[in-house]
Amino acid sequence: MNTDSKKVYIVDDDESVCRSLKCLLSTFGFTVETFLSGGEFFAAVTDTDPGCLVLDVNMPGLDGWEVQKRLALSGSKRQFIIITADKDNSLRERAAEIGAVGFLQKPFNDQQLVNLINQSFEIGDNSMRNNFLMFFIAAFLMTTALGCNMFKGAGKDMENAGQSIQKTADR
């Protein structure tokens, strides 16, 4: 997958995690922006900016759960991955319930993160294709339904015209 224009947002209150993930993901061709808090992220990134969000759970202020809740309420369709140093395995279930592409406990395997990020872009690309496909199908069905109604009307007109011609010929 081409990652040249793939934007990744990292929100983690640990500056060393932000630095190391930015360095790692940049080597894979991703464009990376880091934020030390949910507030910084929301101040800099709009809901419509494309990209994948790598989101730490335990942060002061807006924690990762609150950040995701706020994104969901805004209607954002941005894919996200939850990361945490917390060893509570129930967090994995919670992440899945709120729609995370993946859940990683620190320290995690670099390739696992890269794979999840690529997966998030595939989901996003498929979502865009599905939206286009749904639009195309709806437009086709509307056109077909309108076309059928137009032809049905035209057929009726042709039938009436044929009867008029027949009456004229019979005279």
- The model's pLDDT over 61-92, given as tens digits with 9 standing for 90+, comes to 999 999 999 999 998 889 999 999 999 989 99
pLDDT of residue 131: 45
> In this predicted model, what pLDDT tens digit does every residue of 34-58 receive, in sequence order?
999 999 999 999 988 899 999 999 9
pLDDT tens-digit profile of 99-115? 999 999 999 999 999 99
Nearest one of 22, 29, 16 to 121, comparing CA atoms: 29
Closest CA to 12 of 78, 81, 59: 59
Rounded Cα distance, 69 and 72, in Å = 5
Mapping DSSP to helix (H, G, I), strand (E, B) and coil, where does residue 82 land? Answer: strand
Domains of the chain: 7-128 (3.40.50.2300)
Distance CA 68, CA 118 (A): 20
Bridge-partner residues for 7, per DSSP?
Answer: 31
